[in-house]
Structure 1
């Protein structure tokens, strides 16, 4: 079985580029999560934990602008299903995203947040400070990779590459992550290594004989 190529105008290739850099900041996601018999008690306990959490962040020099969070959310929680279910209580939750450039103090910050009332740490992500500049360098490398691949195909097909006719940006941007299991604390293995900034591109070339 053979396949025909629609619109055979030239050659289209994908290129990828990666730049590795030391992380400059960390994003920590602590969460407050309490279950109490009454809504009033759930709000009270959660609010007190949030207040202590804010105090810890200020003590570590984390500005308010580096903290984004959700409002306290309240929901009733049941055990079982249907007519036989029983009310367990009222769960009050609030999650936050905290950015810090003090990577050497990151483990201490996480421990202090848990001690202050953060009931879990959902994730820890590492990032670079100047991501746009690194992304641009990754894009240049992606273009060079695509051109190299196109040249290999052209030589194998005994043709020459013409001008670039089409450029399509392809986003692929993972972060270096270290995830802390629910109910767990930080460990000495909380080392980010290098953060990878990646870029992808689809290039279309004309061909010459």
Structure 2
């Protein structure tokens, strides 16, 4: 049976209305409120209160066993002197232990092993910065023939970083207010705050292994830095 012409027109109008209305039922999320996004920065330099000394002994011998035994004896003397100097055992940790073959150069053929090098490095944590120079001398006197370096840091920077965070937020607000005044708007509440924290570490300082005089040590300062990104809402005029 043929549908009347008026019914066909009515059905077409209904379908068209549904097609037009379909996007409205799947509307996208509302646009983000207008905002000003800035980065605030702050930093603070402080004197470190803890140090780490990396030192050790190396011994050459014809056989790996002989090198290892000589190395064990030498390191035993070093550890004993550290204990006698008042360094707690928990503050001394082995950082590297190795035995490596040493080759003699031979231009006419393959290189041959002419001995073995045994090395033992320890990291000594020093909780009193004033003792660093004296402990370096103690290590050298005890037989340490490798002083790899000294590092300085702040043992617990959390409270100091909290102060720097507050300064970074204040810097972000100051910048946002400058932009707001220039744009003729008013700042509202912060919409988003994200932080990038970096704790500056004093570089390892290379030391001369054998020194008879007191070893000069300069701990310097450590810089604690905080960078925050803040998005501030803009109030309607």
TM above 0.5: yes
Q: 2:55 aligns with which of 30, 40, 49?
A: 30
Contact 2:55 2:123 in 1 (8 A): yes
The count of residues paired between Structure 1 and Structure 2 equals 203
> TM-score under structure 2 normalisation?
0.72
Please, which runs of 5 or more residues in structure 2 have no aligned partner?
1-31
1:99 aligned onto 2:99: no
2:180 maps to what in 1? 154
Secondary structure at the counterpart of residue 144 of structure 2: coil
Q: Secondary structure at the match of 1:49?
A: helix
**Larger-Rg structure:** 2
CA distance in 2, matches of 1:78, 1:182: 26
Paired position in structure 1 for 2:6: none
User: Are 1:198 and 2:225 matched, yes or no?
Assistant: yes
Question: Structure 1: which 4+ aligned runs deviate by more than 6 Å?
Answer: none
| Change in CA separation of 1:143 and 1:44 when aligned onto 2, cut-off 3 Å | same
Distance in 2, matches of 1:64 and 1:89, equals 33
Q: Which of 1 and 2 has higher RCO (CA within 8 Å, sep 6+)?
A: 1
Contact 2:95–2:123, Cα closer than 8 Å, also in 1: no
Once residues 30 and 153 of structure 1 are traced to their aligned partners in structure 2, the CA distance between those partners, rounded to angstroms, is 54
Shift in alpha-carbon separation, 1:76–1:206, aligned structure 2, 3 A: farther
Could you say which residue in structure 2 is the equivalent of 1:57? 82
- Aligned pair 1:12/2:32, yes or no? no
RMSD: 2.8
- TM-score, structure 1 as length reference: 0.81
Is 1:143 aligned to residue 169 of structure 2? yes
Runs of 5+ unmatched residues, structure 1: 1-6
Alpha carbons of 1:123 and 1:202: their partners in 2 closer, same or farther (altered >3 Å)?
A: farther
Pairing 1:164–2:194 present:
no
